[in-house]
Amino acid sequence: MTTLTESSVAGNDDRRDNNRNNVTTAAHKLMVALDVDGTLVDHDGHMSVPVREAAQDVVAAGHHVTIATGRSLNATLPIIEHIGIDNGYAVCSNGGVTLRLDSGLPDGYEIVHKATFDPGPALRALRKRLPSAKYALEDEDGNFLSTERFQDMSFGVEAIGVDFQTMLEATAVRVVVFSAENTPEEFNTAIRHIGLAGVTYSVGWTAWLDIAAAGVTKASALEHLRGRLEIEAHRTVAVGDGRNDIEMLTWAARGVAMGQAPEEVIAAANEVTHSVFDDGAAHVLRSLLL
C-alpha cells in the first residue's frame, strides 16, 4: 500500500496543455474507472474545479474514462456531461446497467446491458428483520418504486409510491434499503444475520443497503467492457471510496482508495490518495498525464 503525494501526481499548467493536445495512441490508452459520490463529487454532490478539469484532461488525452457508480442512469448522465465524455461507456446501478455513450445517438447514449433479478426473496427476508426500514426498487424500465416516500438523489427520477406487495412482484435492477431508526452498526448486524442469498449487496456509510443481481458488481461490468475495448488488464485504473467499490479496486491493476474510505476499502486498494475534500481524485487523474 502506498500513499500518493503531491509531487507524484501534480502537473504544471504547461504539461496539462500539452496533454490536451497529444491524444494518447491506442497502445497506450488506459481504462480509467471512476466512482462518483465520495470520489468525483463530495457528499453534497459538488464537483470541485480541480477534479472536473483533471477528468476533462484525461478524457481529452484519449483514455477510456468510464464512470462506474451506484447511481442510476438519470443521476449519472449529468456527471458524464460535466466531465465531457461524448463517446465511451458508463456503468450505473452498481453494474446493473451499462451505457454506450455516443454523441451521434438521439439521446447521446444507449443501454447495452441490463442485469435484472427477482427481488422477492431478499425483500421478504429484509422486511421481516427490518420492518420499519424504507425500501426502493429500480425496475427494468428505469422507474423507481418506493415505500414510505423514500427518495434519494442517486435515483435520478422521482420515486413512485407503491405498496410492498407491488415491489415484491416487480423485476428489479437495483434495490435500496434505508433505516433511519438503526445505527450503521445495528444495520450491519441485521444484514449479516439475514444472510441474503442469490443477490450481490453492499452496505454504505450509513444504515443503507444496495442490492443487485447475483454476481453483478461494478467490476463484473467493467471486465466485460475491458474485453470489448481490448484493453490489457495491466492498463486498468480505478478510483473509489465505498464498500461497493471493493471489487472494482481489486479488479484494477491500479486500484486507488480515497483518503476518507473505510478501512476495508483501503485494504482492497494498491494506493490511497487524498480525501474527496482535498481533491484526491484530481491528484490521481493528473498522475495519469505525466
Q: Output 180 or 75, whichever has higher pLDDT.
A: 75
Percentage of the chain with pLDDT > 70?
Answer: 92
Do 167 and 71 lie in a common domain? Answer: no
Same domain? For 204 and 260 the reply is no
Per mean pLDDT, which range of 28-37, 135-144, 159-168, 179-188 is the poorest? 179-188
Average pLDDT over residues 118-128: 93
CATH code, domain with 263: 3.40.50.1000
Same domain, 80 and 143: no
> Given 165, 186, 213, which residue is the final one in a domain?
213
Instruction: Dump pLDDT digits (tens) for 218-230.
Output: 999 999 999 999 9
**Same domain flag for 96 and 225:** yes
26 and 106 share one domain: yes
* Tally of domains within the chain: 2
Residues 130 and 244 in one domain: no
Q: Per-residue pLDDT tens for 87-98? A: 999 999 999 999
The full length of the chain comes to 290
AA letter at 290: L
Residues 54, 40, single domain; the answer is yes
* Residue 190: CATH number of its domain: 3.30.1240.10
Per-residue model confidence as pLDDT tens digits over 31-78 = 999 999 999 999 899 999 999 999 999 999 999 999 999 999 999 999
Q: Domain check: are 92 and 128 in the same one? A: no
Domain membership of residue 272 as a residue range: 2-115+217-287
Give the residue carrying C-alpha cell 487524498.
Answer: 274
Confidence of residue 9 (pLDDT cuts 50, 70, 90): very low
| 10/225 Cα distance (integer angstroms) | 29
Rounded CA-CA distance 61/11 in Å is 14
Per DSSP (E only), the strands in the chain are: 2-3, 31-34, 64-68, 87-92, 97-102, 109-114, 134-139, 144-146, 160-161, 172-178, 199-203, 208-213, 236-240, 254-257, 271-272
Is 21 found in the same domain as 147?
A: no
Q: Is the pLDDT of residue 135 over 90?
A: yes
Looking at 166, 192, 213, which one is the last position of a domain?
Answer: 213
Report residue 23's pLDDT band, with 50, 70 and 90 as the boundaries. low
Residue 140 has pLDDT above 90, yes or no: yes
- Listed residue (137, 240, 242) closest to 184, CA to CA: 242
96 and 228 in one domain?
A: yes
Same domain, 25 and 167: no
Residues 102, 34 share a domain: yes
Boundary of a domain, candidates 213, 231, 251: 213
Per-residue pLDDT at 15 exceeds 80: no
